[in-house]
Amino acid sequence: MAEAPVAIAGLAVLSALGRGSEPQLAAALAGAAAFGPVDRFDVSNRRVGVAATLGPVGSLTEELAEVIEQACADAGLSAGQRAGTELLLAVHGHPGAAATAAGLAERAGLAGAGRVYIGACVSASSAVADAAVLIGRGAERVVVAAGYLVESDQFALFDAGQALSADGAVRPFSQGRRGLLLGDGVAAVVLESRAAAAARGHLAGTELVGWGRAGDAYHPCQPAPDGRGLARSIDAALRRAGVAAEQVGYVNANATGTLLSDAAEAAALRTALGEAAARVPVSSTKAVHGHALEASGLLELVITVLSLRAGKLPVNAGYLGPDDSCPLELILDSPRPVASPYALSLNSAFGGANTALLVRAL
Amino acid sequence: MSTADAFGMSTTSRLTVLSEYRWPPEPDRELPMLPGYVLSSFSPLVAAAAEGCLAGHYADPSAEPSRQRTAVLLVTAGNDVVSADHVRDKVAAGRRPGPLFFFQTAPNSVVGQVTERWGLGGPVVCISPVGDPLADGLAEADLLLEDGDADEVLLILAEQGDPAAGDGPGAADRAHALLLSAGAAS
């Protein structure tokens, strides 16, 4: 049986594409990448010195506070409604993370911090899935926030791991792809039970209708080549929603522009969607905003929602040509009109962790 | 088997403890090396706790289809603080961290080592506790089981000692692993 839908009642976002929804959508649709030389910290001893950064930014805590406030305002939450709403936060793990979450909840007038997710690149999408379960249990609404601002330590680690693209571009599913690039991403969403949203007369426009999580059981830092965990995540998301593969009208892919991961994701889509995988439009917006690590799942969910609302699907930027290991229906050159209300947002992480979120435009 | 009453948390079900293990099992026990991980005890600590717990329930590490629905939930406030400090010092000195730290510093990485060895294909979730770590872990495990993508959850709570508090390397490391399923023990 399908789960009760969860309204995406409010959202707020920033990335290197800009502050707010409009710049995200405009750049994603146009395939206008935001990568440039890093001047936020010293990169003189790094192999690669490029990332997608937003110019002047506040501290991560300040930027999180701002998007949480904006998302609550976008959802039209009263002080009383905020006071009954928990915050789930996705950030890089550090000993002060819980205190940060508690402070953010207090500052926004929320009930408190329910969880802090530190599971690398599936942190935010895990938080969204958990929020949906909590709402299924009876919570009226949950605020999910996530943030990563490009900083020196993670940048140095990705550089040391030779994960960064040496040609200054991210080329998901493309021949000649050379790796990922990091990017700023800070976002918040208000998830609310459909009944609670309707009761206060709030028209959300988009709902989270399915979610799934599964592991590869394959390797500490490489994806299973057959994409088995991601395929089962997609299966679970579709099953929860009672949606057939043929109904999926867009996939916002995890694709980071790395050789192994993109091929594994393509295999997962072929497994999970079957023949429909040859027809479903796919793009990875990491090609324009970069990889926002713990925040990537929420940034990409927001861009997926904005695209559905706009009726246009983002292009897969940075593309040089087909790769036999990625036989997908990529959106190239120009935005594709939305032909189905259902869209998947996929994320994968080290440790073979995978998530799939399924949204529907109303 | 025993039953965890979820320690007074807001939960909708009880949890059955299929297996439980604590590191160190006795004082002064040395952590086994974990190939591919260097300098810090965090990943070996997680792996040792997981190994002891899973060996107490499963006959062997070989993959079985039923384990495709075993989730792994890592709960840690400090994460790998030794590796994080090492990277911070390297970067502050204008040097490159070693490439192994690229994946070692992500908590999911050692979870992937555990899932590969034991064939655990359920959700992988890592959280930092906002309250009592065990209570938070049990609450999240309960949520994962209720959600339905997992029939069992390997919950691992792990914290390294604090060198700033005078703890020697690895001396105050503590981990607690529980293999959990939904429902009361029969």
**pLDDT value, residue B1:** 47
**pLDDT value, residue A323:** 98
What are the two backbone dihedrals, phi and then psi, of residue B121, each rounded to the nearest 5 degrees?
-110, 15
Nearest to A217 among B97, B105, B120 (CB): B120
Please check the confidence at residue A76 and state whether its pLDDT lies above 60. Answer: yes
Q: Are A146 and A185 a contacting pair, CB within 8 Å?
A: yes
pLDDT in tens, A81-95: 999 999 999 999 999
pTM of the predicted model as reported, rounded to 2 decimal places: 0.96
- Going by the DSSP 8-state scheme, the letter that residue A213 receives in this structure is E
Distance of CA A325 to the CA centre of its chain: 24
Please check the confidence at residue A212 and state whether its pLDDT lies above 80. Answer: yes
Mean pLDDT of the region A305-313: 98
- A93 and B113: CB-CB below 8 Å? no
CA distance A222 to chain B (A): 9
Contacts made by residues A37-41, CB under 8 angstroms, sequence distance 24+: A38/A150, A38/A155, A40/A150, A40/A151, A40/A152, A41/A151, A41/A152, A41/A155
Q: How far apart are the C-alpha atoms of A71 and A53, rounded to whole Å? A: 22
Q: How far apart are the C-alpha atoms of A43 and B85, rounded to whole Å? A: 19
Mean pLDDT of the region A255-261: 98
Q: Which residues of B touch A351 (CB under 8 A)?
A: 106-112, 115, 124
What are the pLDDT tens digits along chain B (186 aa)?
Answer: 455 543 333 444 589 999 999 999 998 899 999 999 999 999 999 999 999 999 999 988 876 888 999 999 999 999 999 999 999 999 999 999 999 999 999 999 999 999 999 999 999 999 999 999 999 999 999 999 999 999 999 999 999 987 667 776 677 899 999 999 997 644
Please check the confidence at residue A358 and state whether its pLDDT lies above 80. Answer: yes
How is A118-177 classified by DSSP, letter by letter?
A: --GGGHHHHHHHHHHHHHHHT-SEEEEEEEE---HHHHHHHHHTT-B-TTS---TT-TT-
Please check the confidence at residue A354 and state whether its pLDDT lies above 70. Answer: yes
Q: Where are the alpha helices (DSSP H) in chain B?
A: 42-55, 81-92, 100-104, 107-118, 133-147
Give the other-Cβ count within 10 Å of A18's Cβ. Answer: 18
Q: How far apart are the C-alpha atoms of A234 and A282, rounded to whole Å? A: 14
State the amino acid at position B47 in one-letter form: A
Name the packing angle between helices A60-75 and A97-107 (round to 10°). 40
Q: Which residues pair with A344 in a beta bridge?
A: A251, A358
Q: Are A200 and A346 a contacting pair, CB within 8 Å?
A: no
Nearest CA to B160 among B56, B48, B80, B53?
B80
Q: How far apart are the C-alpha atoms of B155 and B181, rounded to whole Å? A: 11
CA distance B104 to chain A (A): 9
Q: How far apart are the C-alpha atoms of B143 and B108, rounded to whole Å? A: 19
If DSSP codes are grouped into helix, strand and coil, which group holds residue B19?
Answer: strand
Give the residue on A whose Cα is nearest the Cα of B112.
A351
Q: How far apart are the C-alpha atoms of A265 and A228, rounded to whole Å? A: 9
Q: How many CB pairs under 8 A join A and B?
A: 185
State the amino acid at position B19 in one-letter form: S
**pLDDT value, residue B9:** 35
If DSSP codes are grouped into helix, strand and coil, which group holds residue A226?
Answer: coil
End-to-end CA gap in chain A: 20
ipTM: 0.98
Give the residue on A whose Cα is nearest the Cα of B123.
A214
- A232 and B119: CB-CB below 8 Å? no
CA distance A258 to chain B (A): 15
Conformational region of residue A302, where left means phi above 0, alpha means psi within -120 to 50, and beta covers everything else: alpha
User: Residue A27 has which token pair?
Assistant: 């750049």
pLDDT in tens, A56-73: 999 999 999 999 999 999
**pLDDT value, residue B171:** 75
CA distance A129 to chain B (A): 9
- B124 and A349: CB-CB below 8 Å? yes
- Domain total of chain B: 1
Give the other-Cβ count within 10 Å of B135's Cβ. Answer: 17
Domain residue limits at B23: 2-182
Which one of A91, A153, A260 would you mutate to disrupt binding with B, by most B Cβ within 10 Å of its Cβ?
A153
Please check the confidence at residue A18 and state whether its pLDDT lies above 80. Answer: yes
- B102 and A163: CB-CB below 8 Å? yes
If DSSP codes are grouped into helix, strand and coil, which group holds residue A262?
Answer: helix
Residue A355 binned pLDDT confidence (cut-offs 50, 70, 90)? very high
Q: Which residues of B touch A45 (CB under 8 A)?
A: 94-96
**pLDDT value, residue A2:** 60
CATH class of A1-362: alpha beta
**pLDDT value, residue B60:** 86
Give the other-Cβ count within 10 Å of A11's Cβ. Answer: 24
